[in-house]
Amino acid sequence: MNNKFSVKDYYCVYNDFDTSKRIKELHNLYLPLLGNDAISLYTFFGSKMLSDKNLSKSYLHYDILDNLGLSDNKFLIARKKLEALGLIQSLYFDNNGIGQFIYKIKEALSFEEFFNTPVLAKLLENTLGSNNYSDLVNYYSLDKVSFKSFEDISAKFSDVFRLENLNDFSFDYITSKSVNGPNFDEYFFDFDKLNFYLANSYLTDVISDPEVKNRILGLAHIYKMTPEDMSSAIEKSVEISNGASEININVLSDYIAQLNVNVRKQEVPTLDRMINKNLVGEKEEQLTEDEKFAKEVDNTNFVEYLNKQVGIVLSKIDAKNIEELQSKYNFPTGVLNILLEYSIKQSGKNSIPHINYIDKIASTWSAQKLFGAKDAIDFVRANRNQKNKAFSTNKSPQKSYSNNRKSNHAPFPEYLQNRQNSFNQSKKEEDRVVTKEDEDTFKDLMKVLYNKGDV
């Protein structure tokens, strides 16, 4: 089980179909099995805007956790549930220590495909109860009447039409039909042993069909069947059709369920009971105070951050200049916020410095791999330590003649510590009184920034 994942890893979504077309199936079939977190994650991936290559742009995993309100562990469980039931495929690439994921969305099964997949049908019935499951099948099944008592006498293509050079035509598409569904591990079940047991009854041909084989594999997973037990169940579910032996999957599924639940007194299997305890039992990583503060900074846009944290109301010109600066260096929100506050403290004034002053600092920061507020904080801290070390080893340190010169020694610890100490506490009254004019300017600025009307 691959647990590679960091909130700083990038991800993009590949999707080549419209997920909204299967919204009823997701809510009626998959939601009871997987839970709200997994389905919300699937629909969130499906809502991403795509390029003409069916690929979204790259995002940090912060984007998922913050929008869906998931912790790292809850996201990992939801993602793995989707992978296990064949709803997404996760691809990973290590790019010089920076993870890049591609989440390839796979189409949910239709009602008919789902009901004809015994492992999923049985799990859903166990989860909903027989009455609710029967109502669902009756309402959504395509088979409104039963044809089980009838023999199929329809003519085959070769019975009606004759081809001169049959080998020139390919019929691979008939047997190579792609089937979505659970992502089972074939090594879990030994088909060689099953063939050995079935050979005594001359029934090895009944499991030659890949689709039948996949259904047997599913039943073996949820009921933990051995090859010997499965061979006995298959013998009791074989029917003769047109002179050939075929497995009646419904009979096989019912027999195995009765054997395990009524005879062996096992619990009725559901996905909640079957989930890997090591996965859900992982202790959620506790955030330090630094990480909590950094996460708050990452999720606050620069206009709000400067207004609420520093007490500055930006002019439209300053806001536009900062937006252009962010686009120029492609800084994440958290990095930009720390950069702006650092620039203000370095300038020695309680106002936004000239954009050229900020740009000079930003050009230095752009050479670093800064993906969030915590990276920016660590970078400033490292610079501070380096300057302090250089200052302490200098035998004749230069005298500072102004308060502004003193501030060049990265006053990061003081102002950041003050921010951190007040984190999650009731905010004291600001020294600066924000006037009605300031509030109106702030609202106008937010409209320009987001271009979405009133905030």
How far apart CA 64 and CA 52 sit, in angstroms, is 23
Are residues 86 and 180 in contact, defined by beta-carbon separation less than 8 angstroms? yes
Same-domain status, 90 and 135: no
DSSP string covering 308-328: III-----HHHHHHHHHHHHH
232 and 351 part of one domain? no
For 2-61, the pLDDT digits (tens) are 556 788 888 999 999 888 899 999 999 999 999 999 999 999 999 998 888 889 988 889
**Is 162 a member of any domain?**
no
For 241, residues 6+ apart whose C-beta sits below 8 A from its C-beta are none
Residues of the domain holding 50: 10-108
Verify that 129 and 21 share a domain, yes or no: no
Q: Is 240 domain-assigned?
A: yes
- 270 and 309, same domain (yes or no): no
Cβ-based neighbour number of residue 270 at 10 Å? 18
Whether 79 and 119 map to the same domain: the answer is no
pLDDT of res. 171: 46
Number of domains in the chain: 3
Assign 295 to helix, strand or coil: helix
- Residue 444 and residue 421 in one domain: yes
Closest by CA to 380, choosing from 347, 351, 406, 416, is 416
Residue 176's pLDDT is 43
φ/ψ bin of 225: left (φ > 0), alpha (ψ from -120 to 50), beta (otherwise): beta
User: Cβ–Cβ contacts within 10 Å for residue 90, how many?
Assistant: 16
pLDDT for the residue 415: 54
Residue 15 lies in a domain: yes
pLDDT score for 106: 93
Task: Tell me, yes or no, whether 101 and 30 share the same domain.
Answer: yes
pLDDT of residue 455: 39
Q: How many CB atoms lie within 10 A of CB 430?
A: 11
Whether 297 and 386 share a structural domain: yes
In a domain, 27, yes or no: yes
Q: Are residues 307 and 195 located together in one domain of the fold?
A: no
Tokens coding 97: 């220590």
- Give the chain's residues under pLDDT 50: 1, 165-178, 187, 400-412, 424, 426-433, 452-455
- The span from the CA of 192 to the CA of 207, in Å, is 11
Same domain, 219 and 330: no
Same domain, 357 and 270: no
Domain boundary among 255, 276, 297: 276
| pLDDT on residue 103 | 94
pLDDT for 76-122, tens place per residue? 999 999 998 999 999 998 877 778 899 999 999 999 889 888 788 88
CB 297 within 8 A of CB 337: yes
Nearest by Cα to 109 from 50, 30, 51, 172: 30
**Residues 264, 375 within the same domain:** no
Last residue of a domain, one of 222, 252, 276: 276
End residue of a domain, out of 108, 125, 158: 108
